[in-house]
């Protein structure tokens, strides 16, 4: 998977199509990504202490990595990502403008 925590991504499929956000967590074993403020659902939380009220909280649910495209830092467009060797390490690069990400 070529997407890492902290990357800016754009959603290309699903109910939040066209929106962009920052990656909060990457779950590589299940090929899912959690994005800040997107794909949220409401969860009803029970009161934990006596006298406390229950509440409804919004949580970001992880979505499949195939529905997400990385936004290039230099050309600011959603793009596919490639890998190339620069010296002794691999770096990611934008397939549109060929800049390193």
Phi, psi of 67 (to 5 degrees): -95, 10
pLDDT digits (tens, 9 = 90+) for 70-99: 999 999 999 999 999 999 999 999 999 999
Nearest CA to 36 among 6, 81, 65?
Answer: 6
Q: Is the pTM of this model over 0.75?
A: yes
CATH class of segment(s) 8-48+55-73 = mainly beta
Nearest CA to 62 among 14, 18, 96, 2?
Answer: 14
**Where do the structural domains in the chain lie, given as residue ranges?**
8-48+55-73
pLDDT digits (tens, 9 = 90+) for 21-37: 999 999 999 999 999 99
> How many other CB atoms are there within 10 angstroms of residue 100's CB atom?
12
CA 44 – CA 25 distance, rounded (Å): 23
3-state secondary structure of 31: coil
């Amino acid at each position: 998977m070529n997407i890492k925590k902290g990357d800016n991504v754009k959603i290309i499929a699903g109910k939040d199509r066209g929106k962009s956000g920052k990656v909060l967590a990457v779950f590589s074993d299940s090929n899912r990504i959690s994005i800040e403020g997107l794909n949220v659902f409401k969860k009803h939380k029970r009161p934990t202490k006596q006298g406390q009220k229950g509440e409804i909280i919004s949580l970001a649910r992880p979505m499949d990595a195939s529905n997400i495209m990385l936004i290039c830092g230099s050309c600011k467009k959603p793009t596919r990502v490639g890998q190339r060797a620069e010296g002794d390490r691999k770096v990611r690069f934008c397939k549109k403008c060929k800049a390193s990400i």
